[in-house]
Amino acid sequence: MQRGQESPDAVRIRTLPVQVAAHLTRRIVSGDIEDGRAPSELDISQEFGVSRVVARETLKILASLDIVDVAQGRRVVVRPRAEWDYLSPLLIEWLPTEIVGELLQELHQMRVLLEPELAAMAAASITEETLDRLKTELDRMSALEADPDAYLEVDHEFHMEICRAADNRILDRIMYSARWLGTASRRITNEAPAGLCRATAEHAEIYEALVARDPEGARAAMRRHLSNNYSTLIEEKGKQTKRAARRR
């Protein structure tokens, strides 16, 4: 009766163009398609047995990720990998885990640079309503420590709330992309978040600094939080590497 209750792990059915784009991207990454020459609409429709419409939308998707260049009359060309849109969760899903792992660290590096400043900015201009919402989320988090997935949902919302309070659409957009990136990569690596208990305490510290409208305090609290995050990230990566090594 009630709809819209998709479980987080629900295998979302993706459209044909997305599936084909995933295949092609993986082939490009693996070096199966030589740089500079990508298949045309006709090639794609024949090889994958789809209509030209689907082949066309596939190329549009790849173009929107800056993976290829498409123009009328010209052949499709693969763009340099350095220019691909690594902020897109779609692309991240298609990349091999070792690259995703690297990107995760680079993502964290970005968060370390931005989030403490965002917290400081937020402390200067945060509203009572936002503080109320943060408090609510704080309570929900401490109640959800047994359910990592649900916890992470609220965790992200907590961080995004602070980001929004900083009142900068560019920075907000960046963190919004980062949020999806984080969940996408977590889905790939299937990595269990650790240290939820500690995280809650750290969130509380950030909240207190915001309530006090103390930019320095908020910056410092956020910085502590992220540096703790980083250690667990590294630990988890270590475990993964070991697991991967054992599998060989």
Partner DNA sequence: GAGGTCCAACTTGTCATATAAGCTGCTGAC
Partner DNA sequence: GTCAGCAGCTTATATGACAAGTTGGACCTC
- Which position among 27, 37, 173, 242 is part of the footprint of a second copy (CB under 8 A)? 173
Q: Are 200 and 143 in contact (CB under 8 A)?
A: no
Pairs from 94-99 (Cβ < 8 Å, separation ≥ 24): 94/21, 94/22, 94/25, 94/26, 94/29, 95/25, 95/29, 96/29, 97/188, 97/189, 99/29
Does the footprint of DNA cover residue 33 (CB under 7 A)?
no
Binding mask 85-124 for a second copy (x = CB under 8 A): xxx--------------xx--xx-xx--xx--x-------
Does the footprint of a second copy cover residue 180 (CB under 8 A)?
no
Which one of a second copy, DNA, none is in contact with 46 (Cβ closer than 5 to 8 A by kind)? none
Find the part of the chain contacting DNA (CB under 7 A) among 55-63, 90-98, 110-118, 180-188: 55-63
Distance of alpha carbon 171 from alpha carbon 161, whole angstroms = 12
Residue type, 23: H
Residue 3 falls in which region: left (phi positive, over 0), alpha (psi -120 to 50) or beta: beta
Q: Closest CB to a second copy among 57 and 137? A: 57
Q: Are 70 and 59 in contact (CB under 8 A)?
A: yes
Q: In which element (H, E) is residue 78 found?
A: strand 77-78
Other residues' Cβ atoms within 10 Å of the Cβ of residue 37: 11
Q: Closest CB to DNA among 40 and 130? A: 40
Determine the 3-state secondary structure of 30 from DSSP: coil
Pair of tokens at residue 81 = 């990998």
Does the footprint of DNA cover residue 52 (CB under 7 A)?
yes
Does the footprint of DNA cover residue 11 (CB under 7 A)?
no
Candidates 198, 206, 201; CA nearest to 120 is 206
* Residues of this chain, 45-84, that bind a second copy according to CB under 8 A: 53, 57, 60, 64, 82-84
Q: Closest CB to a second copy among 53 and 197? A: 53
Q: Closest CB to DNA among 50 and 87? A: 50
Does the footprint of a second copy cover residue 22 (CB under 8 A)?
no
Does the footprint of a second copy cover residue 220 (CB under 8 A)?
no
Does the footprint of DNA cover residue 57 (CB under 7 A)?
yes
Distance of alpha carbon 28 from alpha carbon 105, whole angstroms = 23
Residues within the interface to DNA (CB under 7 A): 1, 3, 13, 15-17, 40-43, 49-54, 56-57, 59, 70-76
Residues within the interface to a second copy (CB under 8 A): 53, 57, 60, 64, 82-87, 102-103, 106-107, 109-110, 113-114, 117, 164, 168-174, 176-178
